[in-house]
Structure 1
Amino acid sequence: MKKHCLAASVAAVTGVACVPAHAQSSVTLYGVIDTNIEFLNHAGANGGSLVRENSGGLSNSRFGFRGVEDLGGGNHAFFVLEAGINSNDGTNATAGTLFNRTAAVGLSNAFGSLSAGLQYTAMYDVLERYDPMGYAPQYTWFPTTGSSDDLAYKARLNNSVKYVGHFGGLTTIADYSFGGDAASFQSSAAYGGGLEYDIGGFSAALAYDYRNGAINSTGLWSKTRNWSASFRDDVNGALSVMGGYEHYLLNPTKGATVSAALWFGGVRYLFAPVFRLTAATYYQSNKTHNVSNAWMGVLSADYLLSKRTDLYATVAYAAATRYANGSYTPVGVTDETAFASNQTGVTLGIRHRF
């Protein structure tokens, strides 16, 4: 059957191929604006308290463009461009970079999707469903903690290729990031993977993340590994229980191996269609790192004004254990610099999705 292009004459001049009539495409603008007022104690070297306005309480403020083109035969082309913003002052979340959250293009069909660009890692994708606070900026200890900012897995990878496949209840994710270093193919490279199996309301997942540092003058590079195991049980339409374990291991080019573990768990309960309460706990055990063990508890209430707008209140308390001599590593409810063995954070905010 002969197909006609509406702009055939233009295509003949420009050399642009004629698109089949059945092909369809769409571009969607979306985003989240989340702003709050936060109170923190022990927020300065003098032990003082802080009251401030923040961007991002339950979600990071952002906007993005998502496009899909139907190529026919169950095949699609897609792209995602997403920029983080600071809703309290209008600046970019990352100075000098516009689409700092995602910039990817790819193809998808029944066998999965394959994409390239700046993308979330497999570990980040997997753990998002199992963190009770869902990566809320206020407050969770993923991917960093208030006592050890460096004990973190990579949230995103530049120069990456990523595969995602859904096969019944099984989801598979794999990623690879090119280091781009002529001195060594392995220098600054990274890769990871994740498996998730969902049986009705119960799901379990495993994830792995491996990163190489940049090669040094001796021809060596550091190696960072993270792996996690987690579960989630949506008991009924109101109650969800979730938790898991994440392990961090760093092999530096010099010095001792660093090892740490993070245990996490929590519950979410929907008291009414418009009101949800979340309770979460995080415990970090530092096995070989020269910092205290630390614990944080969080309680968060979320009230829906509509399908797109909600009000929330969150309170968190973090504390570090002390060494035998009474010393300790400062701990905070966020990944910012802390100045005491404990900290309390309280935030009240509003979030709107579009």
Structure 2
Amino acid sequence: MKKCLMALAVLGCAGGAGAQVAGTGAGEVTSSSVTLFGVVDLAVAYGHGSENNLSRLVSGANTVSRLGFRGVEDLGGGLGAGFWLESGLNVDDGTGSGSNTNNQPSGATSSGALTFGRRATASLMGTWGEIRLGRDYVATFRNRDQTDPFTTNGVGASLPYAISIIGVTETRASNMIGYFLPAAALGGFFGEAQYYMGENTSGSDGNGWQARLGYANKVWGVAGAYGLTKYAQTATTGDNKAWNIGGHWNFGWANLMAGWFEDEVERTSTLKGTGYILGAVIPIRVDQLKISYSSYKTDDVGDPRTQKLAVGYVYNLSKRTAAYGTYAHVQNHGSAAVGLNGSLTGPGKNSDGFDLGLKHSF
């Protein structure tokens, strides 16, 4: 058990190192399998703002609660076919999380029934890489996620993700055709390209493309990404553009990570947002100390700008079960009024919050 826990700590510390390679193709297939997997994560969450406070039970403050099925079939000669169906769960109330059918606000589905909104893909893969069809993460999200010690979850989630001006396709897109470079054939280089469709009878709302290219080895890695989703131009909407770059360096005693993010909505009066994150995951025996400092601002009226400091600790009870706690503090400037964990705070006022939770993976 002790050896398993030590291995878990090493893998967790490599969250930036190994994670930077996430999003590569599956590569050569030599066996067939079907797997049931999931995470059940619940936390007591508290938020304090200048106008009100809120206490509640939340799902997925450390790792998103989920239920999934994945499988691969060996077709011979290194060629394989695979599927991945993954549903988000709101474990605090027993409902399933929502999805989006057309990459537009009109396609949002409410939470309640079980949907495979986190991922629903079919793949063909081999030594040449992977072709993936369906609903999946967009390329620009991977840098938001993999440079954040808190993996964009809970009260500690980085501001370039939590308050980004990019809309429906900030995290995932539906109706996607994607290609991924092979996982282990290019000497550490990895990449992906995606095209997705809004599937309208006329117009291009919800159509878009994204790409990411990077390099990683056992010590350091870096990746850059760009994405465009098209929408009709109005006073509040327009084409969404995002580009970012993220990197990590694993010193052994700590895995440091950083990212820079630029977002743009080409409405009749273009809105731009920029942000960054500096973070670290520090192994303490079999546990993890997580620290991040992030910032995000836009050129909207009132010059809104927010900074966040987040500190968390993950106590691994076994290789599948962990208790955790996270504290975060935000400073708002100008017209910014970001409140943590559902609290309300006034423009230019501060907010605090914490999560105390338990996670079990299977």
Using the size of structure 2 for normalisation, the TM-score is: 0.81
TM-aligned CA deviation for residue 172 of structure 1: 0.6
Q: Could you list the runs of 4 or more consecutive aligned residues of structure 1 that deviate by over 6 angstroms after TM superposition?
A: none
TM-aligned CA deviation for residue 135 of structure 1: 1.8
In structure 2, what is the equivalent of residue 174 of structure 1? 193
TM-aligned CA deviation for residue 24 of structure 1: 5.4
TM-aligned CA deviation for residue 268 of structure 1: 1.3
In structure 2, what is the equivalent of residue 122 of structure 1? 139
Question: CA offsets, 1:220-268, max 9 Å, x none?
Answer: x8211000011100111x311111100011101x3x1101101111111
Give yes or no for the alignment of 1:194 onto 2:198: no
| Matching residue within 281, 286, 294 for 2:293 | 281
Structure 2 counterparts to residues 74-223 of structure 1, below 5 A: 74-94=78-98, 95=111, 96=113, 98-141=115-158, 144-145=161-162, 148=163, 150-151=165-166, 154-165=170-181, 166=183, 167-184=186-203, 186-214=204-232, 222-223=238-239
TM-aligned CA deviation for residue 200 of structure 1: 3.2
In structure 1, what is the equivalent of residue 35 of structure 2? 28
TM-aligned CA deviation for residue 141 of structure 1: 2.9
- Percent identical across equivalent pairs? 27
Greater gyration radius: 1
Unaligned stretches of 5+ in structure 2?
1-29, 99-110
Between 1 and 2, higher relative CO (CA 8 Å, sep ≥ 6) is seen in: 2
Change (3 A) 1:48 1:182: closer
Question: CA offsets, 1:154-195, max 9 Å, x none?
Answer: 2111100111113220011111101212223x3320110101
Moved more, 34-43 or 311-320: 34-43
In 1: Cα distance, 2:150 partner to 2:129 partner:
28
Change (3 A) 1:110 1:126: farther
In structure 2, what is the equivalent of residue 353 of structure 1? 361
In 2: Cα distance, 1:140 partner to 1:330 partner:
16
1:257·1:288 contact (CA, 8 Å) conserved in 2?
no
Q: The residue matched to 2:142 in structure 1 has which SS?
A: helix
Unaligned stretches of 5+ in structure 1?
1-22, 323-327
2:165·2:264 contact (CA, 8 Å) conserved in 1?
no
In 2: Cα distance, 1:265 partner to 1:206 partner:
16
Change (3 A) 1:265 1:115: same
Q: The residue matched to 1:125 in structure 2 has which SS?
A: helix
In structure 2, what is the equivalent of residue 270 of structure 1? 283
Give yes or no for the alignment of 1:331 onto 2:335: no
Structure 2 counterparts to residues 211-250 of structure 1, below 5 A: 211-214=229-232, 222-236=238-252, 238-250=253-265
1:259·1:287 contact (CA, 8 Å) conserved in 2?
yes
2:240·2:266 contact (CA, 8 Å) conserved in 1?
yes
Change (3 A) 1:33 1:97: closer
2:95·2:114 contact (CA, 8 Å) conserved in 1?
no
In 2: Cα distance, 1:82 partner to 1:38 partner:
25
Provide the alpha-carbon RMSD of the alignment. Answer: 2.2
| Matching residue within 300, 304, 317 for 1:292 | 304
Aligned length: 313
Greater helix content: 2
2:160·2:295 contact (CA, 8 Å) conserved in 1?
no
Using the size of structure 1 for normalisation, the TM-score is: 0.83
